[in-house]
Every structure is written in structure tokens, then in C-alpha cells.
Amino acid sequence: MSDLSWLTARPIAHRGLHDMNSARWENTLSAFEAAAQAGYAIECDVHLSADDVPMVFHDAALRRLTGADGNIRDRSAAELGRLAVGGTGDRVPSLGDMLALVAGRVPIVIELKGSDGHDARLVERVIGTVDGYDGAVALMSFEHRLIRNLAARAPERPRGLTAEGISPEEIEAHFSMLAHDISFVSYAVTQLPNPFVSFVRRRLSMPVITWTVRDAAAIEATARHADQMTFEGFLP
């Protein structure tokens, strides 16, 4: 496993350093600039547009963040780039826009948001966008099919399993992903400790980050059972 000490060296701002969508909204260039200036690593989410451009946006549907109808996959990158996020001056950014802004100042953790039947090009397009980027980038997903695709298409890229759940069936499914040479794990902080996270940290020396840390109890759980936190709503 390559050195991933940079992944856990500093707290990770969940969807950028937003202010809980008061004035500076999640997954916007303003939130990413604030995180970079503060020296925090950045977590962000990526979907494909209708014309296969990776766009930085959490939800499949546009309504909550832009007030528009429909889904992100139904609009072109140009159309999405004209939509205001939260009624602010920020527009929905492309991954390319975000990388150009951060420009290697802090690490970036990109979560690929799968949509079964609509993401055949997602891994290819994200890899193509980050290729040549002069900065630390890791890729992760909840979707096992996307992680398997990452392993096949970009074996040199750090890739992680975003995970939750503590039932025996869920834990078994997480263990199955070790066969695909994942580099790190991002786990729901409220479900620590658990056998999977304990195994990958102690037996494999694999870094574990948590999501999403918002209070003192979650900070403590991260300190006890993981290596770094993905946070929002406060400044660590």
C-alpha cells in the first residue's frame, strides 16, 4: 500500500467548509476555497451530467440545493453551471472547476455517487479529470460496483470504501471488498467500533476516516476508533 499519511494528516471538511447552508453552501467553490484557506482537506461528491461531465453535487435530484426540478443526470454541464446553489452567487461546479480552484493546496477526497444504470462512464470520466492534477486525491464510493471499476481502471489511485451498517450481512459485504485492494475506509462514526473497522486498522494498518462528525461524542469516537474525521458545523 502506498503512503497515505496525507489522508489522515488533517481534518476533512465535509462537502467543503460550508456554514450548514446559511450563506456558504455545501459543495460550492466558496466552501472549497474556505477549506483550502483554513488548511483543511476537502471531501466532495460527484455525479455525471447528461453530457458525461463530472459535476460536484451531492444529491441525485436538483431540488434541495438549487430549487430546480429534475435530476442532475438530466442536465448538461453548461445548464448545471448556470444553476444557483441556495440562491447564492455560487453555481454548480464541475470537478474540473473545483480542482483548478484548489490547485494542490490541500488533499481532496472525492466520493463517486452511483446511480445504477446511469453511471457507466462515471469512473472513466472522473479518472480522466483527475489525471494530471498536481495534488493529493483519493477516490471513494458506497457503491461496490464503482470500487471494482476503480480497481480495474486506475489501480494506482488511492480508493476507499464508504460504508455504514453493523449487521452481520453488512459487515460481511464490507469484508468482501478487501479482495479489490481498497486503500482506506470511510465509516459512519455512529457505528464504531465494529469488527470490520477494527480488522482493517489493526491487521491491515489501513487508514480509517469517519463521517460525519458534528459533536464532541463523534470527535471522541473518531479518536478512539479511527484515524481522522470528516466534519461539518464547527472548526476543529
Model pLDDT for residues 158-215, shown as the tens digit of each residue: 999 999 999 999 999 999 999 999 999 999 999 999 999 999 999 999 999 999 999 9
Low-confidence stretches of the chain (pLDDT < 50) are: none
Here the cell at position 126 is: 472522473
Q: Which fold has domain 5-231?
A: TIM Barrel (3.20.20)
Bridge partners (DSSP) listed for residue 159: 139
Count other C-beta atoms under 10 Å from residue 78's C-beta: 11
Bridge partners (DSSP) listed for residue 208: 185
Residue 72: predicted pLDDT = 96
Residue 51: predicted pLDDT = 96
Residue 1: predicted pLDDT = 52
CA 86 remoteness from chain centre: 20
Give the predicted TM-score (pTM) of the model.
0.97
Tell me if 16 sits within 8 A of 28, measured CB to CB. yes
Domain boundaries, the chain: 5-231
Give the pairing type, strands 184-188 and 137-141: unpaired
Residue 200: predicted pLDDT = 98
